[in-house]
């Protein structure tokens, strides 16, 4: 499995965290896993789409789709040689480009053709491009066109996302108060913009921090958990089971898991 990232140009950096490309040419590479990170993505399959385990049934993913926020582990398996490109958005920016309330797309894969009002046919040129560099450049060019028609930024929620992602000790109530909103107003606007309740988003960011800390060979679980904001190791393991579907040792021991590529980045 090969994974590559590229940063967007300066004009698109306010919307896009990164572009990425993944190749998995081994159809027998086994079951893969993606864990929540609080960011939505747009996926373009250039090879055979993965199959996703949904309600105990394996279903093929769409060829081109928007991948809303996920609240639990995503289990995939190859159906043939896979090659895909993705656009990883910042937590609060995908809705501006799609002009869709993000809470409507949580835990959903939406084919691009089903998202009205946006000219997604331009993505055809990416399949015609031969090199990864040309494909990344085409993504940037297409996204710049969409950005010109983007909806307005909710600056209060943007600031709140930064606050919660930073991992400070400030709770949701204090973040809402700093934004000048009631907790109910804040939660409603956050769900509309990000697609998740703010408390759940904050937990995902804490989970991501400890996941990265455990990549180090010298890391001790108990220390990594406390440094990342967990009360103890048991608290950490509960989040791993919710977000990854398995305990830390089992997940980190699987070198083929997609989770390892995306969390490292």
The span from the CA of 65 to the CA of 81, in Å, is: 19
Which stretches of the chain score pLDDT less than 70? 27, 116-121, 168-169, 214-219, 248-265
Which architecture, in CATH terms, is 2-147?
Answer: Sandwich (2.60)
How far, rounded to the nearest angstrom, does the alpha carbon of residue 254 sit from its chain's CA centroid? Answer: 20
Angle at the Cα of 11 (from 40 to 152), degrees rounded to 5? Answer: 60
Burial call 17-30: b when 16+ CB within 10 Å, e when fewer: bbbbbbbbeeeeee
Residue 244's pLDDT is: 85
Q: Mapping DSSP to helix (H, G, I), strand (E, B) and coil, where does residue 7 land?
A: coil
Cβ neighbours around 34 below 10 Å, total: 21
Which regions of the chain carry the CATH code 2.60.120.10?
A: 2-147
Q: What is the CA radius of gyration of the chain?
A: 18
Q: Are strands 74-77 and 51-54 parallel, antiparallel or unpaired?
A: antiparallel
Residue 57's pLDDT is: 94
Which regions of the chain carry the CATH code 1.10.10.60?
A: 155-264
The span from the CA of 38 to the CA of 113, in Å, is: 24
For residue 134, give both structure tokens: 């040309």
Going by C-alpha positions, the residue among 4, 48, 53 that lies closest to residue 25 is 48
Helices (H), the chain: 94-98, 124-128, 132-147, 155-165, 172-178, 183-194, 198-213, 221-227, 233-243, 248-252, 258-264
DSSP 65-108: EEE---SS-EEEE-SSSEEEEEEEE-TTTHHHHHTS-GGGGTT-
pTM across the whole model: 0.87
Residue 119's pLDDT is: 55
Residue 217's pLDDT is: 57
With a CB cutoff of 8 Å and minimum separation 6, the contacts of 252 are 214, 215, 260
Match domain 155-264 to its CATH number in 1.10.10.60, 3.60.20.10, 3.60.150.10, 3.30.43.10. Answer: 1.10.10.60
């Amino acid at each position: 499995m090969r994974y590559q990232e590229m940063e967007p140009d300066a004009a698109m950096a306010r919307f896009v965290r990164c572009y990425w490309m993944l190749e998995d040419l081994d159809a027998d590479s086994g079951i893969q896993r993606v864990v929540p990170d609080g960011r939505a993505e747009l996926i373009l399959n250039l090879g055979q789409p993965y199959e996703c385990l949904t309600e105990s049934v394996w279903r093929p993913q769409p060829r081109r789709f928007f991948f809303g926020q996920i609240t639990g582990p995503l289990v995939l398996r190859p159906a043939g040689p896979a090659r895909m490109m993705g656009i990883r958005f910042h937590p609060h920016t995908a809705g501006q480009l799609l002009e869709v309330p993000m809470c409507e797309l949580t835990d959903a894969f939406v084919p691009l053709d089903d998202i009205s009002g946006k000219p997604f046919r331009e993505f055809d040129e990416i399949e015609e491009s031969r090199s990864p560099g040309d494909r990344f450049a085409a993504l940037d060019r297409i996204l710049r066109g969409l950005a010109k028609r983007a909806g307005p930024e909710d600056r209060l929620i943007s600031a709140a996302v930064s606050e919660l992602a930073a991992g400070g000790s400030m709770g949701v109530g204090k973040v809402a108060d700093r934004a000048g909103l009631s907790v109910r107003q804040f939660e409603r606007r956050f769900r509309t913009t990000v697609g998740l309740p703010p408390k759940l988003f904050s937990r995902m960011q804490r989970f991501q921090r400890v996941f990265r800390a455990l990549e180090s060979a010298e890391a001790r679980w108990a220390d990594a958990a406390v440094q990342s904001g967990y009360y103890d190791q048991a608290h950490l393991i509960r989040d791993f089971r919710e977000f990854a579907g398995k305990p830390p040792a089992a997940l980190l021991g699987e070198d083929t898991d997609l989770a390892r590529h995306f969390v490292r980045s």
